[in-house]
Chains A and B, each alone.
Chain A
Amino acid sequence: MNFDDLKNEWNAENPEGSNISTDMLKIKQAHTPIDKIRAKMKHEFFYQLFFLGFMALIPHFFGFSTTVNRVYLITYAITCGFTAYYFFKFYVFYKNSYDMSMDTRKNILWFYYEMKLNIELYKALTYIVAFISVGFLAAYLFIEKAWFFTSILGKLSPVYILLNCFITILIIGAITELWAWFYYGKYLKQVKKVIDELDNE
């Protein structure tokens, strides 16, 4: 195989076709992994808004006592605070532009760590919201079903209670990790593959 001949033919090839027009510059949606993650996060933002709106109505549906209502309000305020903080971070990520004219290594590493950072932020928010919900549920049971809760707790050994807490945390962790991987993992995996190919000596 003669690569010089091949090179000559390659350089002689002049693919014809219609000219690129302004219409092609007007497409808004790009398809880099970062753009895909940003689009999904944008959707999640609206789901989260809907979820917070729904959460605001929960006390009306369940007719909580005054004490539970106060606990719920604190829980709700904390959830809103954390959500606002994380979505502000996501918004900054959303608005942050990228520079495709860097060399390949810099470009790929930028994409990889930017994606990784935002997926970690996403997981952190999910953990926080999940633990706040579990915390509220525990508080609700202590206040509203105190007799039931104390009688149950009295019968259980501390080891069993600790084990249950541990398993609950583990389940929340596993669901969060799996969900994040299912939702965003494939993009990260693709970019990581290119980094490995570049680093492969």
Chain B
Amino acid sequence: MKEAENIFLNLINQHKGIIHKISKMYMKDAEEQRDLFQEIVLQLWKAYPTFKGNSKFTTWMYRVCLNTALIYFKKDNRKVDKAPLDENIDIMDVNENEGKEEKLAYLYTAVQELNAIEKALIFLFLENQSHRDIAENLGISEVNARVKLNRTKEKLQFIIKKNGYEF
């Protein structure tokens, strides 16, 4: 068990950027991002026995992370059980990011106006997933994935323009 835990932690720490990015896309508030981050880690750990190594670890991870974010229900109050290290999870705020990675900061702000599925589409697209991979992850047809992604990109462009930013 301890060995499995170590292997899992090693793998997940190598790819923790995925969890960070999804948390920032799905939650606006920093504390909510931390909660979602924690929930994703928990769901990944619970689902870890289903990872048989037939696909890449990241492929499996995308699914668990997105599925968790899609059905995640915001906590009713803040008095919930948290790991002691929870406060140390650094999820950079959009404002902190400004200057350094301005484009991404605007992107994170703009995606808040997309719905849950549109966020998933943009996320997978930015992660260099092909239309086929996106379709397989979401359980929709490839044509549908292509159409939805194009619409979402147009919508995102419109939001960014509307917010007075262009890149």
Contact = CB atoms under 8 A, between A and B. Distances in A.
Interface residues of B, number: 70
Nearest to A197: B117
A176 B90 CA distance: 45
A13 B21 contact: yes
Contacts of B43: 30, 32, 100
Interface in B89-103: 89-92, 101, 103
Interface of A: 1-3, 5-7, 9-11, 13-33, 36, 97, 99-108, 111, 187, 190-191, 193-194, 197-198, 200-201
A190 B73 contact: yes
A194 B138 CA distance: 12
B132 interface: no
B76 to A, nearest CB: 9
For the complex, would chain B's binding face be called helix, strand, loop or mixed by DSSP majority? helix
Interface of B: 5, 8-9, 12-13, 16-17, 20-21, 35, 38-39, 41-43, 45-47, 50-51, 60, 63-64, 66-68, 70-73, 75, 80-86, 88-92, 101, 103-104, 107, 115-118, 120, 125-128, 136-140, 144, 147, 153, 156-157, 160-161, 166-167
B89 to A, nearest CB: 6
Of the listed residues A7, A15, A16, A201, the one surrounded by the most CB atoms of chain B closer than 10 A to its CB is A15
A27 B64 contact: no
